[in-house]
């Protein structure tokens, strides 16, 4: 009884305190038997924020989304949506709409039937249902499709209807579970823009699961990079791209991925020693580098510049292997000291002959240094 009262007062206090939070995940843990899938997660999502959960398959991102939706019972922790503790609430009571990868349209119902199913379950009056369907159809431009069955729709149209099904519920939180993965590349980029447009029009909170970093970088206000049921970094896309908090995030984000140079920091953190090459670390934006016997210097392909003359402490010598013109720019693959493969992005006009000896100028303010032991950025 006492503890119950306590929780009640606590809840009341929380309600007043978290008005600006749309979703709060507190110490969420999910285990299946002895296997723990999500470990002690804490996320606060602000009202109207677009959060992307990004990670390789099996990292728990879809599982987390299912927990938010109430489709999976969590083992420990709390989930708050709109200032209400919904940890034990049914999916339909949480004020969420969900869009699935496989669209999950009811095949035997028309588009109209699909859109109205949830509303009918909520015993909404008919004219209100009609009004909402009309509005959603107008927003998503599917008015002409309302009387068709899902089988008669294309992939893009199906996904629109699936979004519409979340839309008619008129909820504050949208959950997307890899909604674009089943579409072809062209349609995917079109719908990606459309989702972004939808977000700016509706200003709902959106939680979006994907393994596609382009989707994550383009859509998100903040990205949560996940691995092994743990959030590795939760930050704005630029922050994640420029200052990855650890080696995993650095390697996962960016295509082609970051170049990693294994070496040591010397001179009290003033320089990086890599084989016989020494790189000056003056201007590094991060914490105290210190002397670390094993460290990794991470450099993105666009933060290296090819030049023909050496500048001691500023350049890395390398030999051109191949270049890959990619349309807008070109990717040059080089071999540096010790057989290390590196990639550098250059303007497409600049063709590099194999075997050319060049020097790579390092853009230190944009570089990242990781401790090899902890794999954390310093």
Binding site for another protein (CB under 8 A): 66, 69-71, 90-92, 96-98, 100-102, 104-108, 117-118, 121-122, 165, 169, 177
Is the separation of the CB atoms in 140 and 176 below 8 Å?
no
Q: How far is the CB of 98 from another protein (least distance, A)?
A: 5
Spatial separation of the C-alpha atoms in residues 268 and 364, rounded to whole Å = 16
Q: How far is the CB of 148 from another protein (least distance, A)?
A: 17
Q: How far is the CB of 179 from another protein (least distance, A)?
A: 11
| For another protein, the closer CB: 77 or 91 | 91
| For another protein, the closer CB: 124 or 314 | 124
| For another protein, the closer CB: 107 or 347 | 107
Three-state SS for 34-68 is: CEEEEEEEEEEEECCCEEEEECCCCCCHHHHHHHH
| For another protein, the closer CB: 30 or 96 | 96
Q: How far is the CB of 260 from another protein (least distance, A)?
A: 38
| For another protein, the closer CB: 114 or 213 | 114
| For another protein, the closer CB: 22 or 315 | 22
Spatial separation of the C-alpha atoms in residues 206 and 208, rounded to whole Å = 6
Spatial separation of the C-alpha atoms in residues 376 and 333, rounded to whole Å = 27
Q: Tokens in use for 135?
A: 């509005």
Phi-psi domain of 285 (left: phi exceeds 0; alpha: psi -120 through 50; beta: other) = beta
Closest CA to 183 of 159, 147, 207, 200: 159
- CA Rg value for the chain: 25
Is the separation of the CB atoms in 248 and 54 below 8 Å?
no
Q: How far is the CB of 187 from another protein (least distance, A)?
A: 19
Instruction: Provide DSSP, 86-102.
Output: -TT--GGGS-EEEE-TT
Q: How far is the CB of 136 from another protein (least distance, A)?
A: 14
- 330-337 long-range Cβ contacts below 8 angstroms, 24+ apart: 331/256, 331/301, 332/306, 334/358, 334/360, 336/261, 336/277, 336/360, 337/274, 337/275, 337/276, 337/277
Q: How far is the CB of 157 from another protein (least distance, A)?
A: 17
Q: Which residues pair with 224 in a beta bridge?
A: 53, 234
| For another protein, the closer CB: 169 or 199 | 169
| For another protein, the closer CB: 107 or 312 | 107
| For another protein, the closer CB: 114 or 315 | 114
Spatial separation of the C-alpha atoms in residues 87 and 78, rounded to whole Å = 5
Q: How far is the CB of 276 from another protein (least distance, A)?
A: 43
Neighbours of 310 (CB within 10 A): 14
Q: How far is the CB of 96 from another protein (least distance, A)?
A: 7
């Amino acid at each position: 009884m006492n503890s119950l009262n306590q929780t009640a007062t606590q809840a009341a206090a929380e309600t007043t305190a978290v008005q600006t939070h749309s979703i709060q995940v507190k110490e969420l843990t999910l285990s299946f038997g002895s296997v723990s899938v999500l470990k002690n997660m804490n996320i606060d999502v602000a009202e109207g924020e677009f959060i992307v959960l990004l990670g390789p398959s099996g990292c728990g991102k879809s599982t987390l989304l299912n927990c938010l939706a109430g489709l999976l019972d969590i083992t420990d922790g709390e989930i708050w949506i709109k200032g209400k503790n919904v940890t034990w609430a049914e999916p339909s009571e949480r004020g969420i709409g969900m869009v699935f990868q496989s669209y999950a349209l009811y095949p035997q119902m028309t588009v109209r039937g699909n859109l109205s199913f949830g509303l009918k379950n909520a015993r909404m009056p008919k004219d209100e249902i009609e009004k909402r369907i009309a509005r959603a159809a107008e927003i998503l431009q599917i008015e002409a499709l309302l009387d068709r069955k899902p089988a008669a729709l294309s992939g893009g149209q199906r996904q629109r209807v699936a979004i519409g099904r979340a839309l008619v519920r008129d909820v504050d939180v949208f959950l997307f579970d890899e909604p674009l993965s089943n579409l072809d590349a062209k349609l995917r980029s079109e719908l990606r823009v459309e989702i972004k447009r939808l977000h700016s029009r509706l200003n709902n909170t959106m939680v979006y699961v994907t393994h596609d970093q382009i989707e994550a970088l383009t859509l998100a206000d903040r990205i949560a990079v996940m691995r092994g049921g743990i959030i590795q970094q939760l930050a704005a896309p630029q922050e994640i791209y420029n200052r990855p908090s650890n080696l995993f995030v650095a390697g996962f984000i960016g295509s082609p991925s970051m170049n990693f140079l294994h070496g040591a920091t010397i001179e009290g953190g003033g320089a990086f020693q890599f084989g016989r090459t020494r790189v000056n670390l003056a201007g590094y934006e991060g914490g105290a580098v210190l002397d670390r016997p094993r460290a990794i210097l991470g450099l993105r392909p666009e933060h290296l510049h090819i030049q023909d003359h050496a500048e001691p402490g500023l350049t890395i010598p390398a030999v051109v292997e191949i270049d890959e013109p990619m349309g807008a720019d070109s990717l040059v693959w080089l071999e540096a000291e010790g057989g290390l493969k590196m990639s550098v992005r250059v303007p497409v006009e600049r063709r590099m002959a194999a075997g050319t000896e060049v020097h790579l100028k390092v853009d230190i303010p944009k570089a990242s240094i990781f401790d090899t032991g902890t794999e954390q950025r310093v």
